[in-house]
Structure 1
Amino acid sequence: MRKTLWPHLRPYSRWIALGVACSAMEAIFELLIPLVMSDIVDVGIANADQAYVTQKGILMVVMAMVSLCFGLGGAACSAIAGQGFGANLRAAQYEHIQEFAFSNIEKFSTASLVTRLTNDVNNMQMTLMMGMRLLVRAPVMLVAALFLSIRISYRLSNVFLVALPLLIVVVALILTKASPLFRSLQEKTDALNLVVQENLTGIRVVKSFVQEDYEREKFARRNNDLRATSQKAFGMVVINMPVMMLIIYGTIIAVMWFGGQMVYAGTLEAGKLLTYFTYITQIMISLMMVSMIFMMMTRSVACAKRIVEVLREVPAITNDAAVTEQDENGKLVPATVRDGSIDFDHVSFKYDSASPEWILRDVNLHIRSGQTVGILGGTGSAKTTLVSLIPRLYEATEGTVRVGGRPVKDYTMEHLRDAVSVVLQKNTLFSGTIRENLLWGNPNATEEQLWDACRSACADEFLERMPDGLDTDLGQGGVNVSGGQKQRLCIARAILKQPRVLILDDSTSAVDTATDAKIRQAFATELKDTTKIIIAQRVTSICQADLILVMDGGRVVAQGTHEELMKTSDIYREVYTAQQEGVSIGG
């Protein structure tokens, strides 16, 4: 775990060292002040020497100011190191998550990853900030105060032989009980975040089905679980304080009893006893600080393990097998997709290698570059899974998928996915303007190119009615546009890439048939050389395609043109007839 986290902490090692030095010096100056105070009582006041008292008083003020300066320096250094460490951890996790395949993200869940990026990192950086100060200040004060108190009175220091073991036992017991509870606490936080995320993301569905009460009950259950676990975890921590105070005040009473007798007997000066009380307080406060830091570290260790799990997760899909080729200047560069031809060579797939169930089974296909391919099949026939293998959103379990004549593993994911544009079943737009979302397709697109893409996707029809046009703010997730408008904007974004392969996964389901026909016509004229793969439920959306695939049970059970399939495929013919009858009835 230390090897994984240290690289993110190393850039701030100098700040940590400087902060530790400042905290140590702050503690040392604080410890010297009681000695000066003892001299004032035993020498200055005892001898009625005003000049001596003034001199020592000024020295105390100077020492306090120096201690304050070191304290401020330590606080500044700990803040820089802690916040920097936290920022590095968040950045490292976020960058690593970007490399995850879908299977990696599904392993953790989105809500858990958000918690690890925020809550867990916050706990670690707070522990570092507090630890830099307290883990230095407390031991220095503890050891130095013990040494100085023993120097004042060896006999009186025997009180610590009882107090210290008691404190150590109490802290050890509490830490043993609290450690597993903090791990559980973070898991309960994940569960609560999942409910909140689902509710807010699907708030329209919740309201349309009038399920607010059900969602409230689900939230209440998770919230109560988190509260109960928090009470157990922090209840153990809270016990630490009264037990510590009991031991501290017991120690003070014992020192007062035995020290008072020594002062009365003349074996200990009153000023020394007063100084001794100061050191006792510092020793006990130091022990309280140490125990508090250990409590924080217990939770921080639980958070660190969760963060390390993310950082050590090996992406299921990597660029390790990518090859290079020579460019026109003879320089070796990553292989690029030359054309939009696609081949499936005995491809099979399942999400979990241990699962006995295959999602795709022995798929063999050849799609020529520039062809328009339609895919038809019932729910669960693995249409989306099939096209997801082309840009390597998932990896084929068996067989080989080729794009542009090369196995997809020969390309880096950046080059492959830059050549394959996908409009997924679930359309996603991001907060910001329409222009900012469209520029994902081509960051250098001109105003004319943006509007051309919008016209091809029939998005210009509603954009021209918007006062701000392309600069209209979409809101979070594109809530300011309808489902059909969102689909057309996503298609326009994909067109802007001018990809070798364009995949539309039921991406025109929310538009009317006339608009669907216009979009398909635009594809035929604007993207002649692009291979177009269209998954659709409406036969009319794909009947003009060069090749139509009929899928059932994870297999391609038929392929051909519309006319060929009407003669050879019972499934295709039944779907077409049923839809035509539905149109006739509707008309």
Structure 2
Amino acid sequence: MLKLVKYLRGYTKESILAPLFKLLEASFELLVPLVMAGIIDHGIAQENTAYIVRMGAVLVGLAIVGLCSAITAQYFSAKAAAGFGTALRDDLFRHILGFSHAETDLLGRDTLTTRMTNDTNQIQAGVNLFFRLVLRSPFIVFGALVMSFSIDVRESLIFVVVIALLAVIVASIMGQTVKMYKQVQKRLDDVLGQTSENLTGVRVIRAFSRQSDEISTYKDRTQNLSDMQIHVGNLSALMNPLTYVVINLGIVAILKTGSVKVNVGTLTQGEVVALVNYMSQILVELVKVANLIINMSKASACARRVNEVFAIQNSLVDGKEDALQSWDSAKEEAVICFKDVNFSYPNAGADALEEINFSVNKGQMIGVIGGTGSGKSTLVNLIPRFYDVRQGEVEIAGKNVKEYSLSSLRRLIGIVEQKSRLFKGSIRSNLLWGDEQATDEQMNRAASIAQAAEVINKKEGRLDEP
């Protein structure tokens, strides 16, 4: 998580002010029980209406100032968290776009999508909650303990015991749930991967009548995810009842011992009410602390997954030569050459291509024929350097493709994939991917070559049709 703190660089002011305003709100909240004790002991007991009105106005003032502090803190924490999330997603997206196909295949497209969306959202939510509670909740818990000591030292020992028991409960439950949340994220990846795989290969599944098998596999994975989420939820759900039992026992102890002291005159009724209020404040804040720990555990697990992506570097070393210039000045008859090429996919047990040798001359049109999985697409993917060969060389215009810059190499090569992909926008915006400066005439000519002109011309907006 600490490795991602750099994305808060532009929000230093908000990162400082958000907890401080929450601390200010907490300070006012700690004063409320004392004011209430004064109203009971000096106002109600002595029938002093003026004092009650005056202290009532103080309570209203504390509430208004506390509300303003809370709203201000919420604004700064939300701004910092949103800016953090935006910067993190932008950098992660930029980093992923720099991957070669080898890195993308190694992690998997589905888990990359999950890490860039769900994981970054969890981290952002954790940062937001951290700013709001990191100072407030501990301050109120220990502040309530200190205030109880100022009222009665012996009664405050009940607070010490209660806080110790609550700390043990929270630590025990959190220690188990933190590990389980990692498993939840892993199983979520499995479900998303299965979903994407089925949607991508739906035709193959139908062709081989594998629908029932895939449905069964999907149900198993979703059931595994559901079981783990329910298990974690049940364990986390123990937090509230256990903490309420301990707090209520503490309140009973305060009322029991406090009533005796009120009877003998060593403690006032207002002070007993103040002690009960401080105990209630501790309950509320410890529940918030538990919620903070749960969310920070999720955020920490997600941060580790995001850092795993950042730790992976592009295996392709960019060259410096301009492929377009080399192509224009090429004198060789053979413009594409494969020389003793061997290639294997990441973590594969065997080579997908072995000892490939051939050349393609200028103006020559060739077709590569082979069965499914024989390596036709793999062979083509080596030309624009989507992958690097394990052994041998792929040459274009007499030079190894590794010598060319990736941008110039890929501007030189046109690719039509087996399955067309369209990006959100208009027909024009999709055509401009090939050349941002293309004119309407050039785009219409390209559409004509691709046998798409007739379809486009039937559209009302033609090139500007969504």
Fold-level match, TM-score > 0.5?
Answer: yes
2:463 is aligned with 1:470 = yes
> In 2, Cα distance between the equivalents of 1:96 and 1:395?
19
C-alpha contact 1:338 1:404 (8 A) present in aligned 2: yes
Q: Post-superposition shift, 1:213? A: 5.0
Deviation at 1:154, TM superposition (A): 0.2
Report the residue type matching 1:402 in the other structure.
E
Q: Using the alignment, how far apart are the partners of 1:256 and 1:337 within structure 2?
A: 89
Residues 213 and 356 (structure 1), Cα distance of their counterparts in 2 relative to 1, 3 Å cut = closer
Residue by residue over 1:469-500, the C-alpha shift from the partner in whole angstroms, topping out at 9 and shown as x without a partner, is 33444xxxxxxxxxxxxxxxxxxxxxxxxxxx
- CA gap of 1:355–1:225, structure 2 versus 1, over 3 A, is closer
- Which of 430-439 and 234-243 deviates more? 430-439
Which structure would you say has the larger RCO, counting Cα contacts within 8 Å and 6 or more residues apart? 2
Answer yes or no: is the 8 Å Cα contact 1:171–1:291 preserved in 2: yes
8 A Cα contact 1:347 1:399, kept in partner: yes
Q: Name the residue aligned to 1:339.
A: 327
Corresponding position of 1:351: 345
Whichever residue aligns with residue 400 of structure 1, its letter is E
1:435 CA drift (Å): 2.5
Counterpart secondary structure, 2:95:
helix
Q: Deviations over 1:422-458 (max 9, x none)?
A: 2223332234333322221122222211111222233
Which of 429, 438, 451 is the matching residue for 1:458? 451
SS class of match (1:282): helix
Give the structure with the higher percent strand. 1
Give the alignment partner of residue 386 of structure 1, picking from 379, 383, 398. Answer: 379
> SS in structure 2 opposite 1:342?
strand
Matched with 1:376 is: 368
| Structure-2 residue corresponding to 1:275 | 274
The answer to whether the Cα contact below 8 Å between 1:337 and 1:403 also exists between their aligned partners in 2 is no
Q: Which residue of 437, 445, 449 corresponds with 2:438?
A: 445
Give unpaired runs (5+ residues) of structure 2.
329-334
Tell me if the contact between 1:323 and 1:335 (Cα under 8 Å) persists in the aligned partners.
no
Q: Closer, same or farther in 2 for the Cα pair 1:12/1:448, shift >3 Å?
A: same
**Separation of aligned partners in 1, 2:351 and 2:119:** 37
Map of 2:77 onto structure 1: 78
Q: If you compute each CA radius of gyration, which structure gives the higher value, 1 or 2?
A: 1
Match of residue 50 from structure 2 = 51
1:424 aligns with 2:424: no
The 5 A counterparts of 1:126-525 are 126-202=125-201, 213-319=212-318, 322-323=319-320, 337-339=325-327, 341-352=335-346, 357-368=350-361, 370-379=362-371, 380-473=373-466
Separation in 2, partners of 1:335, 1:469: 34
Q: Are 1:345 and 1:364, in contact at CA under 8 Å, matched by a contact in 2?
A: yes
RMSD: 2.3
CA distance in 1, matches of 2:320, 2:272: 79
Could you list the per-position Cα deviations for residues 12-49 of structure 1 after superposition, in whole angstroms to 9, with x for gaps in the alignment? 23211110111000000111122222222222333333
Q: One-letter code of the match for 2:225?
A: L
Q: For residue 338 of structure 1, what is the amino acid of its counterpart? A: S
Letter in 1 for 2:400: P
Measured in 2, the distance between the counterparts of 1:29 and 1:432 equals: 53
SS at match of 2:340: strand
Per-residue CA deviation, residues 227-276 of structure 1 (Å, 9 max, x unaligned), is 10101112111111111111111111111111111111111011111111
CA contact (8 A) 2:181 2:301 kept: yes
- Identity across aligned pairs (percent)? 33
Structure 1, unmatched stretches of 5+, are 325-333, 474-587
Contact (CA 8 Å) 1:178, 1:233: kept in 2 or not? yes
CA distance in 2, matches of 1:216, 1:109: 21
* Paired letter, 2:327: D
Q: Cα deviation per residue 1:386-438 (whole Å; 9 max; x = unaligned)?
A: 22112110101112223233322222212221222222233322343333222
SS at match of 2:69: helix
Counterparts of 2:177 and 2:103, CA distance in 1: 30
Task: State the Cα deviation string for residues 123-147 of structure 1 (Å, max 9, x = none).
Answer: 1111111221122210111121111
Q: Distance in 2 between matches of 1:339 and 1:458?
A: 27
Amino acid at match of 1:349: F
Partner SS state of residue 402, structure 1: strand
